[in-house]
Every structure is written in structure tokens, then in C-alpha cells.
Amino acid sequence: MENTLLNALPIEGQLLLNESLADYTTWRVGGQAKALFKPNGLTDLSKFLQSFNGMDSIHWLGLGSNTLIRDKGYNGTVILTQNCLNELALLTEDTIRVEAGVSCAKMARFCARNHLSGGEFWAGIPGTMGGALRMNAGCFNGETWNFIKEVETINREGIIRTRQSHEFNVSYRHLDGLADDEWFVSATCVLPKGDKEKSLKVIKELLARRSATQPTGEHNCGSVFRNPPGQFAAELIQSCGLKGYTIGGAKVSEKHANFIINACGQAKAHDIESLITYVHQTVLEKTNHHLIKEVHIIGEQ
């Protein structure tokens, strides 16, 4: 996109060219995006997409967890939802509308403070609700789509649709039914009534458990691999003696083997990707388990 095109677009948000993505990811690595758009709400996003006449690929980014952006960057447009699509509202006593850029932790607390139960698990997911919808994120025995009534999606032409939960096939960390150029922008969630203080206590306990068992104070993306049926990825990785294994500045966490950390902030995306590949191959050779990545790897090779 040329600067003249930037000035001509009917948008209120920010459109940045050749923007480094490292600061927008929880691993703190990655090259530049050709363009990065920070919409000023859903209407602004729709206008941007309606004016987006290029053939560039589009990638959506929330908190930047669960995403590894390669060192050569992304030759397309990144749409940032964090702090952009951030509306969160109680529609009825048991129904919440949440936009894609709201953090899962904020959603968990909002549910609790409005005397709704079941959403406490969202406090343990280091991402936004848009990402949680896309991969049916879950932890501590909770899953996102258990509470979804309907969603709003937007496509490449900026058209917003309302779709019902039954239109999607949902399974463990997976969802079918979304077109390639269609993205979640909001969800309507229904939760059972609960007790505010009890739910806040559960959230506090879950966060303490997460802090005790995961490297929350170090740059990571959350769980790297899905848990195989009847198994835990971390136990398989640990059984192969990979805790603490390093490639460049990337390291398998000694606290939780299914986490890879940017040790001392010196890792490159290539180090992390190489370590992911090495862990996968080693586990396959030693245990015959084919671990499936949760993390999405994008960008130029």
C-alpha cells in the first residue's frame, strides 16, 4: 500500500506500514508486516475491508499468543483486534455479547462479576476471545464453544453476518464451518447463574495454579502442542528428556515441557520454529505419538 492510498482510505483507525510485529506477540519475536491495521471498532473495520482492493493475504492477531511470526515477516496485512474490537456487554441476566479483541481473562472476570458461572476457565487462556472462538480454546475442563449461542463474522468484503452455533462443527481445539476469508468478530454467550464471590475465588485459584505450573513470567505462547487423546503432551515431551533443551535462544521450559520460552529475550523466530520441529520429531521417534501444533506459524520462509 502506498501512502497516497493510506490517505484516501475512509478509516478512523491506524494503518501502519512495515510495522515490526515482535511487540505484538507474546514470544516477542517476528519480522515486519507489510501493513498493520488497528480498527476503531467494528464499523471502521468493515469500512476498511470494503476499501481493501488489494490481493494481499490477511492475518488476524489478538494478544499474539498462539502465533509465531517468522523473522522475515508477513507479506500481507495484519488486522489487530486487541484493544480495538473491545466491546463487552451484558444483554440479559444470563447473556453476554463479547467482541473478538476482548482478552479471555477479562471475559472470565466479567462473567463472575455479573453472577454467571462456568466461564472461570477463560482466566487461564492467554489470548483474546476471537482466537478462543477460532480454536475452541479451553483449559481447566472448560471449553469456549460450550457457551456460544451465536457469533458475528466478517468477510474480506467487510460484510458482517450473524451465524448460529449449530452451523459449526466443534471439537477439541478445532472448528469447521468458517470460510477461508471469514473471521469471528463477536460472540453471544449464555451462561448459568452463579455466585459472584465463589466464581472470583475459583478464578483466583486457577490463576495461582497456572502460575505455579506454567512459565507465566517468561515470553511464551502458551501450550505449543495439543494433548493427544488420553495423554498429556507435556508428559510425552518430558519423558523424552527434553525439558531445558535449547536451540539458540529458544528453550523447552523446565517448569512445563509443553511450553517453549524465549530465554532471556534473545531468541529468533527461527530458533523457536526449529525447536518445535525438533520436539515433534523426537517425541514421534521415541513414543510414536504425532503431536499436533496448537501454535500457528505464519510469515516468509
β-bridge partners, 231: none
Catalytic residue among 46, 165, 223, 253: 223
C-alpha cell at 7: 490517505
For residues 289 and 173, what is the distance between their CA atoms, to the nearest angstrom?
18
Catalytic residue among 173, 226, 239, 274: 173
C-alpha cell at 144: 469456549
For residues 1 and 8, what is the distance between their CA atoms, to the nearest angstrom?
11
For residues 107 and 148, what is the distance between their CA atoms, to the nearest angstrom?
13
H and E: helices and strands count for the chain = 7, 18
Residue linked to cell 471469514: 182
For residues 95 and 104, what is the distance between their CA atoms, to the nearest angstrom?
16
C-alpha cell at 248: 539458540
Tell me whether residue 156 is one of the annotated catalytic residues. Answer: no
Tell me whether residue 274 is one of the annotated catalytic residues. Answer: no
Q: What is the torsion angle, in degrees rounded to the nearest 10, for the CA atoms of residue 11, residue 78, residue 219 and residue 184?
A: 80
C-alpha cell at 124: 487461564
Of the candidates 296, 299, 300, the residue with the CA atom closest to the CA atom of residue 130: 296
4 CB-contact burial (10 Å; exposed 0-12 / middle 13-18 / buried 19+): exposed
Residue linked to cell 462443527: 169
Burial 47-86 (b: 16+ CB within 10 A, else e): bbbeebeeeeebbbbbbbbbbbbbbebbebbbbbbbebbb
Sheet containing 58-61: order of strands: 14-20, 32-38, 74-80, 58-61
Tell me whether residue 294 is one of the annotated catalytic residues. Answer: yes
The residues annotated with a catalytic role in the active site are 173, 223, 294
